[in-house]
Amino acid sequence: MLAYIARRLMLLPLVLLGVTALIFFLMQFLSPYQLLALYVTDITELQKGPEYMNQLVSKYGLDDPPLVRYGDWLGNLVRGNLGWAQSARMPVSTAIAKFLPSTIELVLWSVIPIVFGGIWLGTIAATRKDTLVDHGARIGALAGISLPGFLFSLFLLTVFYSKTGWFPPGRISLWAEKLITSGALRQYTGIYTVDAILNGNGAFFLDSLRHLVLPCFALTIVQWAGLMRIMRSTMLETLRQDYVTTARAKGLLERTVIKKHARRNALLPVITIAGGMIARMIGGLVVIETVFSRKGLGSFAMSAALQLDFPAILGFAVLIALVTVTANLVVDLLYAWVDPRVRLG
């Protein structure tokens, strides 16, 4: 087990290096002026005018050989200097720190419905195979993976906001926003639902929850489709195994057979796709945050892309790649821990 962990951990920096190298390579297609924006953190330097460009170029070492530049850029990355984000009018790292809590809040409130709902639905569909429930779930899942996230979000907004006014876009209402800007509500984490609890403000909590309903629902439905299908097929595979027949022959309750024996083993292949799901969820986050007008990392990245803000989008890419690689590593380690065949074979 330790050898497996050690091997994976040794490969991790290599992959991260490769990721940064790929981004750096893509960066080379930018013009020198655009590249400069990636290094300066003080906007006034960029505004001095083209005559100063040569000074800036030599100051930030942009005429050095590529490997030296790569090393410098990596050094900057490690120190947290990601450049200046024009679309947000603040340094990239500041922007990321500012928008992170909103995204975390959305993920936090979606993860549990996604995971438990998807697993539960897949199990139900498998155990009631070929019944109406199964067919309904499978058709629903097929529709779910065919449905574009942005289209579904627009539909939800039309019906539940424009028509009924129940669930508005954005993170909080105006009156709640005033609470924050005036300082009446102390921000401990930046995650509004958590802050509301910490401040003991029930109305604020309910308001931010109200704004979370549609985005979470949209995110969940899209992820459920994929998860449910895999869960169903692995569950069916597991239920055909001999040990399940043995368990039933022993007279165990069907409920016990499913919960204590079949489902655990069916979950194994599902863990392997969890890594891919995280990547898909990040894509989904970008879409949903933008459509629902929530100021988070996703919408920040989207507005950066639309305004051709290279430092912002590249900083975002580095961060996301880091998250994805780490998540995949955690998932792989988890799988190795759960399934001894992997680490021993």
Partner 1 sequence: MKVLKKLVTNPLSIVGLVILLGFIVVALLAPVLAPPKANQSPYRIPRDGWMAEPQPPSSEHPFGTTEGQYDIYYGVVWGTRTAFRIGITLVVVASSIGVLIGSFSAYFGGWFDEIVMRITDVFFAFPYLVAAMVVTTILGKGLDRMMFSLILFGWMPTARLIRSQILVLKEKTYVEAIRALGGGHLRILFRHILPNAIFPVIVQATMAVGFMIVLAATLSFFGLGAEPGYADWGQMISRARNWVVMPPGTPFKYWFTIVFPGAALLLFSLSWNLVGDAFRDIYDPRLRGR
User: Is 11 near partner 1 (CB under 8 A)?
Assistant: yes
CA distance 298 to 177: 21
CA distance 171 to 27: 33
The piece of 23-31, 112-120, 183-191, 202-210 that touches partner 1 (CB under 8 A) is: 23-31
Give the contact letters, 152-181, x = binds to partner 1 (CB under 8 A), - = no.
Answer: --xx-xxx-xxx-x---x------------
Task: In angstroms, give the least distance from the CB of 113 to partner 1.
Answer: 21
List binders of partner 1 among 226-285 (CB under 8 A): 232-237, 279-280, 282-283
Task: In angstroms, give the least distance from the CB of 169 to partner 1.
Answer: 8
Distance of CA 61 to the CA centre of its chain: 34
Establish how many alpha carbons lie within 13 A of residue 132's alpha carbon, considering only the half-sphere containing its beta carbon. Answer: 0
Give the contact letters, 88-117, x = binds to partner 1 (CB under 8 A), - = no.
Answer: ------------------------------
Angle at the Cα of 17 from the Cα atoms of 11 and 20, rounded to 5 degrees: 145
Give the contact letters, 57-76, x = binds to partner 1 (CB under 8 A), - = no.
Answer: --------------------
Which of 105, 195, 309, 332 forms a contact with partner 1 (CB under 8 A)?
A: 309
| Main-chain dihedrals φ then ψ at residue 256, nearest 5 degrees | -70, -40
CA distance 122 to 273: 14
Give the binding site for partner 1 (CB under 8 A). 11, 14-15, 18-19, 21-23, 26-27, 29-30, 126, 142-143, 145-151, 154-155, 157-159, 161-163, 165, 169, 232-237, 279-280, 282-283, 286-287, 290, 301-302, 304-306, 308-310, 313-314, 316-317, 320-321, 324-325, 328
